[in-house]
Amino acid sequence: MLTIIFNNFDFMLSFLPAIIIGVYLYTTWYYDYWSKLGVKCPWSPVPLFGHVFQSITLKKHFMEVLEDIYRKIDDEPFVGIYSMRTPEFFIKDPEIIGKVLIKDFNYFTDRGSLNNPKNPLSHNIFQTGGERWRTMRQKLSPTFTTNKLKYMIEQIKICSDSLLECINENFIKYSGQMEIRDMMGKYSTDVIGKCAFGLDLDTINDPESEFRNYGKVTFQPSIRAHVIVSVFLTQPSLLRFMPSSFQPQKSIDFFRNAFQQTIHHRIESKIERKDVVQQLMKAREDLVLNPALNDKDKFSEMDIVANAYILFVAGFETVSTSMSFCLYELALHKNIQDKVREEIIGIKSKNDGKLDNDCLCDLQYLNMVIKETLRRYPPLVFLTRVVTKPYTLPDTNITLENGTKILIPVRSLHYDCKYFPNPNEFDPERFSDENINKLHPNTYMPFGDGPRQCIAKRFAEIEMKLALSEILSKYEVLPCEKTQIPIKYIIGSFVNAPENIWLKFKPIHS
Ligand code: HEM
């Protein structure tokens, strides 16, 4: 018996050098891609992991890895990196960034997000590209016109009233100390449910809410998500053997059924509202049911549901983390908080204590505070694009071929002292009327830029302004013993999310 084992072991040992060479070749095969094009790398790639070893092994947040690359390359306008085995073109120069996002957008129309064809919910405007993205974007853009946003303010107001009631109850129960990130998450879930889909979710009072709980899962880092992203970056062809999405199937099924039912209920009961569902129903008429369209240009019922889904999930985590960071900074900067409050109370008192669209536009200092919050804490720390037509970089002989991935390090630009002096200081004055025009173009992009910038930028701004104004006119926010200073981020999360934000609320007696 032992002889057989040893003989087999000898046999396997004789293959070992070939196996080692094979593994080495597989894990380093593409690593001459950039040098062949004449593009520098920031440092030598690690076999298999390329330049993202520390984020894949969860030693660092991906934003820190981007920061390391950004700092390392000094005055280089761009470098080539490898995200595991995938070559990516990392751009530092704002002029080239402007060309990619805006001026030469037609060469970069796609985002290149992980898009598993088996997951029907991934056929949405965030994840698709080309003509199908363009068509759907045109159909959905009218959702957020000034007129419709004015109508939505009333709906948002109902949710911000519930948020204040919740703060009030928690204040009594927990002597003012609250973890605000989860609370803001419930508020933004309620807002998107109400304004976009006409649903009264009331997650703020319902700890069992499936919308909130399945929504949270979408953004939670998990081993499943980590493995799928690693496969996507190493050998994308293997994705077809993987689960359909990095979210659990239960969560996909829940959202698919919920949005399908909402849309069908509206159609059957002929309810008309100025909201996302209305716009999706119009898109359905024009793109799914339209007999004049040929099969290639037609969309499916599921494509409509996929877009309902993305408008729901893209909306709550971004808004809730931004609002939480804003309150955190205001708690640490009492002078700025007092100034914002003074502005809010002044404008409210001129308008019988109410806030309407005009008042929100007049809240200029609050606007500056939100802009500075999004500079320090952009929810998406980088933007991506994919080359969709070969593109020769101006004044070089470097041509990026179809399919090349582009990475734009938004957060690193926001922290570059060339564009934002003393970047670690929270200073809303950077965005005063006087200073805003001095900002270097294409260095401030919390909502992205160009034709693919955030479709709901103005909606998100109104949602944040309304809740922040209501909170700050009734409460002072202060740090407490549980407040993390500095903030600790969730490593492995693909949005810029804090582990928690604890603050103390103190009622203002006027
Ligand atoms: C503070 C709040 C928000 C921030 C900072 C934010 C940021 C972003 C960014 C950076 C992008 C990518 C832009 C690019 O690639 O150039 C984006 C895209 C998008 N966002 Fe937002 N977002 C916010 C809120 C929302 C809300 C509330 C919704 C939905 C109601 C939403 C829906 C979308 C959609 C659908 C896209 C894809 C647009 C396209 O590809 O055509 N976002 N957002």
Q: What is the pLDDT of residue 220?
A: 73
Whether the Cβ atoms of residue 487 and residue 153 lie closer than 8 Å to each other: no
For residues 456 and 140, give the distance between their C-alpha atoms in angstroms, rounded to a whole number. 10
Cα(448) to centroid(ligand 1), Å? 8
**How would residue 146 be classed by pLDDT, with cut points 50, 70 and 90?**
confident
Question: Model confidence over 186-235: pLDDT tens digits?
Answer: 999 999 888 888 888 888 888 788 888 888 777 777 777 777 777 777 77
The answer as to whether 22 is a domain residue is no
The larger pLDDT score, comparing residue 151 to residue 337, is at 337
CB-ligand 1 contact for 379 (6 Å cutoff): yes
CB-ligand 1 contact for 280 (6 Å cutoff): no
CB-ligand 1 contact for 461 (6 Å cutoff): no
Q: What is the pLDDT of residue 268?
A: 84
For residues 196 and 277, give the distance between their C-alpha atoms in angstroms, rounded to a whole number. 6
CB-ligand 1 contact for 456 (6 Å cutoff): yes
For residues 508 and 472, give the distance between their C-alpha atoms in angstroms, rounded to a whole number. 9
Arithmetic mean of pLDDT over the chain: 88
Q: What is the pLDDT of residue 411?
A: 96
Beta-bridge partner residues of 475:
507
CB-ligand 1 contact for 245 (6 Å cutoff): no
Q: Which atom of ligand 1 is nearest to the CA of 410?
A: 10
CATH number for the domain spanning 248: value is 1.10.630.10
The answer as to whether 62 is a domain residue is yes
Res. 107: pLDDT tops 90: yes
Question: Model confidence over 47-71: pLDDT tens digits?
Answer: 888 898 888 888 888 889 999 999 9
CB-ligand 1 contact for 322 (6 Å cutoff): yes
CB-ligand 1 contact for 314 (6 Å cutoff): yes
Cα(263) to centroid(ligand 1), Å? 22
The answer as to whether 15 is a domain residue is no
For residues 478 and 152, give the distance between their C-alpha atoms in angstroms, rounded to a whole number. 31
Cα(107) to centroid(ligand 1), Å? 21
Query: What is the count of structural domains for the chain?
Result: 1
In 136-199, DSSP assigns E strands to 177-179
Residues 322/323/324/326 CA torsion (nearest 10 deg): 90
Q: Where in the sequence is the domain holding 63, given as residue range(s)? A: 31-507
The answer as to whether 49 is a domain residue is yes
Q: DSSP labels for 299-335?
A: --HHHHHHHHHHHHHHHHHHHHHHHHHHHHHHHH-HH
Q: DSSP labels for 51-66?
A: T-HHHHTTSS-HHHHH
Q: DSSP labels for 110-150?
A: B------TT-GGG-STTT--HHHHHHHHHHHGGGG-HHHHH
The answer as to whether 7 is a domain residue is no
Question: Model confidence over 253-265: pLDDT tens digits?
Answer: 888 888 888 888 8
Nearest CA to ligand 1 atom 18: 454
The answer as to whether 5 is a domain residue is no
Q: Rounded mean pLDDT of 411-427?
A: 97
Question: Model confidence over 348-380: pLDDT tens digits?
Answer: 999 888 888 888 889 999 999 999 999 999 999
The answer as to whether 9 is a domain residue is no
The answer as to whether 318 is a domain residue is yes
CB-ligand 1 contact for 442 (6 Å cutoff): no
CB-ligand 1 contact for 315 (6 Å cutoff): yes
Mean pLDDT is highest, among 145-159, 280-294, 451-465, for 451-465
